[in-house]
Copies of this chain bind each other. A is one copy, B any other.
Amino acid sequence: MQFEQITIVGVGLIGGSIGLAAKERALAGRIVGVGRDASNLVCARELGAIDSFTTNLAESVRSASLVVVCTPVDRIADIVLEAARHCRPGTILTDAGSTKREIVRVVHNEIVEDVFFVGSHPLAGSEKTGVEYARADMFRDRVTVVTPSSQTDKSACDKVVEFWKTLQSIVSILSPEEHDAAVAMTSHLPHALASAVAGCTPRAYLNLTAGGFRDVTRIAAGDPGLWVAIFLANREYVLSALDRFSNRLDEFKRLLAAGDSAGLMRWLAEGKQVRDAVGS
């Protein structure tokens, strides 16, 4: 048992999976869920993701040793700061947000003394949302990025790293900036493209789609609200990633317009090489 009490703020797909995984690994004495929607919390308790719940943030963190904030990214910093004011000295707070730079900066600048914040981002989840899809093995063999800055407490960081490792995640340590630049390319860009393809496909053609279309567009089914917040929080890096992508696609257009068979072959082979390195 690493923590006497873990409080999970926002018990949806990710928060619920943290609860299930933490219970499976006997990581906490008790797990408290907190959120605005009591019926969702009832459901989370029935699924075994949390032991008890409240809709009162202050109350939920008062006895917490670890607080994990799993809300949409645009609410994380405020919630961490608010929760921190009600924590005992020594409490560690972390999050599961898809962007890190703004969150880490704002929290480190404004957080009360005697508690510790460490930014995290488990690269897990799916286009589905809701605690009903939570799984105890959500983080197994998946990367979680932990993003200390120069202001992050070293010992708190170690404990957060240990926390994710106990959930069977592979931990990667990056600066908040390195993290945001990387996920702009590997996650936010693909999401925008998936949505762009889906959004420009005429309805009349939808019965002529096969596995390729379904794969490429799958994540476009994700929650628009969550993604607006992610894109806005990572705007500059996403715009750079879009430029990088557009340059690559322009190359394809030029080769195709010119009927350059050898050039197209090389271009496609480069993409295949990267894809083959990733695994199914």
Residue numbers of A with Cβ under 8 A of B are 123-126, 142-143, 145, 172, 182-183, 185-187, 189-222, 224-225, 227-228, 231-232, 235, 238-239, 242, 244-249, 252-253, 256-257, 259, 261, 264-265, 267-272, 274-280
Contact = CB atoms under 8 A, between A and B. Distances in A.
A198 B275 contact: yes
B231 A195 contact: no
Chain A interface SS verdict (over half): helix
A195 to B, nearest CB: 3
A116 to B, nearest CB: 25
A215 B209 contact: no
A88 B220 CA distance: 51
Given A193-B216, A200-B247, A216-B219, A206 B256 contact: no
B256 A143 contact: no
A212 B226 CA distance: 15
26 contacts: A125-B210, A125-B211, A183-B208, A185-B201, A186-B208, A186-B209, A187-B209, A190-B217, A192-B252, A193-B193, A193-B197, A194-B212, A195-B252, A196-B245, A198-B271, A198-B274, A198-B275, A199-B267, A203-B277, A214-B280, A215-B216, A218-B280, A228-B264, A232-B261, A235-B257, A242-B253
